[in-house]
Structure 1
């Protein structure tokens, strides 16, 4: 499956052409994207889409010259357990017009993109699934969860005594221009500490600080505060918005955290202490701060934090190069496991031995040894970042245990001290 794919090739599927979109066709592609996402009322975002255009990476399906399906991908660095990164093929902008469903268009575009990604050296592909039942057929599995909390400030009574502090530290608001200067370097340092995190490009920062506007997605400038240590170095950032709601003459505002990352736990605690002190706020909503974030345990009353209503699977992952992907990450315990992987697209198919040394480094190689576990490509993607346990998958019938006790033993190998998390949609 490592053969290259001609980015200029035209493929015909059921009489419909699938090909790369030229730069002067971006406006038509954007219109098809809006229709596919049921947003026909939205003004053209062609100017923004041109910032994202790369030769061969924006695909379209054309019926008699009209674009009726869309697909885009881009390369991004993904942090894996242990702090290393792998190149990931990030898939986005996937639509098929309601008039052209069930004709194999998505399958053709997906095969084309994944083949090209593997040839470019991408170890994995990632996407955010709008619907659960679409992408498993292409070998993607849910690999990270989005998880947040609603915090009732009156019930929480604030942070408990003994929560870490940063002596000499300070928190300051910054402008959007300052956020574009400070944020990228700070985020690059943070993302290498968080398995599942993705690099943010320049367009991300421009869009999320209002320099670039996307029609249909109204930008409302957030409050952005940066924490600095006693030496003046930036160690954390929080961005939030506050609604202006009153209960008669009493303030009853909700503060919604839209971005939060810190290089250490003490900085995180200082940022939460600041967030909980904002005047007029009675409720804090942290939409997505990670499935094992200790926020509730920082409160005097952890019951005041209730799960956010949109908590669900978030990043989906599919392994394209098994050896490159599994050789890049570290592991939780020494040992050996042999996986028999079924992959109808072929990228991950085969029998693979993962051998882990005492220092947590691992080596993945093809083998003819008897397998301990049998699974599909989707389940391999789910397990890669450590976001799910093998015994749970086995109990659900998604992984088959070929040797008694193999699921529990292999789970120790794949375990990570910090659950995978990705805060960014794309």
Structure 2
């Protein structure tokens, strides 16, 4: 019996959401409150389901997203989320059908890229996605960090840290987030609903635990960063505290704010460990401590995956710290963005267009996704056999042009 792939209508949304819960191993039940909270924020024309005799057996959703590029520019992305296939219907090409439908629509709209957070690594490369950012989590042993507990909680630059609440974070957070995106590639837009969910105002599928909110203000009283964190309640024998502060969100628009917030978190009474949450792999945290070894890496993994849909928009939509020209021969099995392109880049700007000239580098479109935000080395990909160097020295030149000064970072899961 054929399986129908199509968009979902409003009356089918609760059943579609139940299938999402089931696919992510959550209880397969949907509360009326959840439907009422989510549905107004969903574009049903971009919600796909696979139907087997009226039952949803696979799900897929996309939405418009802003993605920060190297140098602070913005790319329009087709953000892919809520991808599931029921265990009873695997290996039937259902994801491939949904993905092809969505990417074709994104290409038609003129989106520069598609993005997603991959629950499993091996799935999305075959659709042209490449891992473009990575995430690292540290656990700081506060007692080993070497900070002076009498001083580390008070900024030494004339600023101060105040406790606040979710209401203020919803007011000051968006501007701080935009300021971060202007200096760091890989930041995805956080709309009003994202701030509501992150501060407990919207419906929560898990029991909500109100975090502590701390905001850093500079000497003029202007907010420059904030942290949201929770603390457990653990004590060892002899009434010695063993509490852990777990960071849910920390956005700093300046290095001073970043330093002040991490030092504050490591100075809280009874807290002997700080879990950093998702951070960039080159985060300042370890080096802000007198003893960087006190920050132990507990997670390091791929985060944001990028699928290039418009090569010119991606390569022209960023800045370059040096001048040079490259011809890229891009292979795209899905026929969405393949071909030969010439990039002429300089600190003043860039131009990218199709060409018939001889190629300097040959690579799959997924590898361009991996390189798109400036994180990966072309020389390293060439050593792995994932980029073919056709002109001697082209890989090294590509590194000079494409690598970003700071590694891209995506703090949000969507």
Residue number in structure 1 paired with 2:5? 18
Residue 375 of structure 2 corresponds to residue 408 of structure 1: no
CA displacement at 1:272 relative to structure 2? 1.4
Q: Partners of 2:294 and 2:348 in 1: how far apart?
A: 38
Question: Residue in 1 aligned with 2:41?
Answer: 52
* Counterpart selection for 1:260 from 241, 250, 257: 250
**Equivalent of 1:102 in 70, 84, 91:** 91
Measured at CA, do residues 392 and 42 of structure 1 come closer, stay the same or move farther in structure 2, by a change above 3 Å?
Answer: farther
Could you tell me how far apart the structure 2 residues matched to 1:352 and 1:59 are? 33
Which residue matches 1:4?
none
The one of 150, 157, 165 aligned to 1:167: 157
1:320 maps onto 2:321 in alignment: no
Cα offset for 1:43?
4.3
Deviations 1:368-407 (A, max 9, x none): 1111111101101000001110011111111111122211
Deviation, 1:168, is 2.9
Consecutive aligned runs of 4 or more in structure 1 exceeding 4 Å deviation: 159-162
Q: Measure the CA separation in 2 of the matches of 1:399 and 1:285.
A: 37
User: 1:417 — aligned with what?
Assistant: 405
Cα distance in structure 1, aligned partners of 2:40 and 2:233: 34
In the other structure, the counterpart of 2:286 is 296
Over aligned residues, Cα RMSD in angstroms? Answer: 1.8
Among 43, 52, 56, the residue aligned to 1:63 = 52
Three-state SS of the structure 1 residue aligned to 2:263 is: helix
Q: Does 2:175 correspond to 1:188?
A: no
Helix, strand or coil for the counterpart of 1:148? Answer: strand
Q: Distance in 2 between matches of 1:80 and 1:166?
A: 33
Q: Determine the structure 2 residue equivalent to 1:40.
A: 27
Could you say if the C-alpha distance between residues 166 and 186 of structure 1 is closer, same or farther in structure 2, counting changes exceeding 3 Å? farther
Deviation at 1:186, TM superposition (A): 2.2
Q: How many residues align?
A: 409
Alignment of 1:191-206 (within 5 A): 191-206=181-196
Describe the superposition over 1:105-148 as per-residue Cα deviations: whole angstroms up to 9, x where unpaired.
11111111111112222100100001111100100000000112
Q: Is this contact kept in 1: 2:19–2:28, CA < 8 A?
A: no
Task: Name which of 124, 134, 138 aligns with 1:135.
Answer: 124
Q: CA distance change for structure 1 residues 92 and 394 in 2, over 3 Å: closer, same or farther? A: same
SS at match of 2:336: coil
Partners of 2:127 and 2:59 in 1: CA distance? 17
Give the Cα separation in 2 of the matches to 1:150 and 1:24.
Answer: 45
CA contact (8 A) 2:14 2:30 kept: no
Partner residue of 1:154?
143
Using a 3 Å threshold, how does the CA distance of structure 1 residues 398 and 48 change in structure 2: closer, same or farther? farther
* 3-state secondary structure, aligned to 1:386: coil
Deviation at 1:365? 1.0
SS of 1:24's equivalent in the other structure is helix
- Are 2:365 and 1:377 equivalent residues in the alignment? yes
TM-score by length of structure 2 reads 0.95
Task: After TM superposition, give the deviation of residue 156 of structure 1 in Å.
Answer: 1.1
- Confirm or deny that 1:229 pairs with 2:218: yes
- Pick the aligned partner of 1:85 from 63, 74, 95: 74
Name the CA distance, whole Å, in 2 between partners of 1:320 and 1:377.
9
Residue 393 in structure 1 maps to residue 371 in structure 2 = no
Distance (whole Å) between structure 2 residues aligned to residue 352 and residue 335 of structure 1: 14
Gaps of 5+ in 1: 1-13
What are the ranges of 5 or more consecutive residues in structure 2 without an aligned counterpart?
none
